[in-house]
Amino acid sequence: MNDQTRFRTIFIFSVFCLGSNAQSQTTETERFVNDIQSQVAQLSQRSNTLAKEFVTAVAIMNGVQARLSSLNYAILKQQGKPTPKTTEECLTLRAGICGNHIAAFLTVADQLGLRSRPVEFYIAGPSPAQNASHICAEVYYNQQWHLFDVTWGTYFVFQNNVASIDQIRQFRAKSRDWAVTNESDLWYLQWKDAGHDPLVYVDHMPVDILRGRKGTIHLRPDKQIYKPVHQPNFVGRNTKNPDYGSIGVQLVDTAVGSTIVELQVVGKAGNGMIVLSNGKQHTRLPMSMLNVGTNVIKLTRPTHDSGIAVTIDVDPTIGVGYVVYSSIQVK
């Protein structure tokens, strides 16, 4: 082999290796995003009536449901193997549950310029131990929000448009007839066969709904101790995203005449005032005065109603202020 032939062979081999290495460095998330872009571009060439945002949302939803199998996730757990946490891990292992589904949906939607946010459902069971939860996503286009239940491959059509969660909850059981659902999904079939209701959030009472983490979580007591069970364990605002908001906590069935609230703090971030409200009565305390561990907060007056609201007035100059807690006790 002469020098010119040897150089050409080495050059071709080097180019091949570089190409293979570049391909191996492409993440599963990047491949997923590229697939969705190709699908949306292809369908957009063939349809002039479907909104591009709708097409993109459905493409991501279908892609997540196909790639992040809840059945595979259950198999991993049953086998005692580690379950995926990040979107990249979920895509690599082809496994995930509803929280993973929405995390992946929001990640891809953000990369494709789609305005979206989570919609969380916290469903009260007969006792706190029997609480349940589910999570969907909302996508904003045509001047309104539209709900997509990624786990079940579902959206709801109302007056020829994809409905928002507000519209769905307004019509309750009737809105079940609006559902366009992928009922052939194996996890959906297993869920139904086990007697579960995939669309329980549509008309179940009571349920707490957080849209972009904005809303109120109701906690019920066990001997006047309140613990989040299948519910968020923080109060306040943990992101500056304008489509997101602040979580408040409502303690129900508190003893009338209570004077003390003990807050078990796990951590905190940002700044603001923690506010304990009983009717028109408010007790305010700077977040800076809270420490990790037990915090004893004396109310300005004994309570006269059987309920205490816990909220955070976030410092607007920072935009974030939240407290992570493990339990709240009222005395």
Whether 116 and 199 share a structural domain: yes
Is 78 in a helix, a strand, or coil? helix
Is residue 154 within 8 Å of 179, Cβ to Cβ?
yes
Whether 149 is in a domain gets the answer yes
**What percentage of the chain has pLDDT greater than the value 90?**
87
Residues 251 and 106 reside in one and the same domain: no
Tokens of 1: 């082999």
Domain that holds residue 289: 214-330
Single out the residue in 208, 233, 268 at which a domain terminates.
208
Q: Residue 316: inside a domain, yes or no?
A: yes
How much is the pLDDT for 5? 47
Q: Are 52 and 100 in the same domain?
A: yes
pLDDT > 80? residue 207? yes
At residue 48, the pLDDT reads: 82
Looking at the fold, whether 193 and 105 belong to one and the same domain comes out as yes
Any idea what the CATH number is for the domain that residue 234 is in? 2.60.120
| 208, 228, 263 - which closes a domain | 208
Final residue of a structural domain among 208, 226, 249: 208
Kindly state whether residue 162 falls inside one of the protein's structural domains: yes
- Whether the CA torsion 82, 87, 92, 95 is positive or negative: it is positive
Verify that 34 and 174 share a domain, yes or no: yes
Whether 122 and 133 have beta carbons less than 8 Å apart is answered as yes
Q: Tokens standing for 278?
A: 């009983």
Query: Do residues 190 and 245 both lie within one domain?
Result: no
Pairwise pLDDT comparison (21 vs 88), residue with the higher score:
88
Domain contains 7: no
Q: How many domains does the chain have?
A: 2
pLDDT in tens, 219-254: 999 888 999 999 999 999 999 999 999 999 999 999
Write down the pLDDT at residue 24: 58
On whether residue 292 sits in a domain, the answer given is yes
Is 10 inside a domain boundary?
no
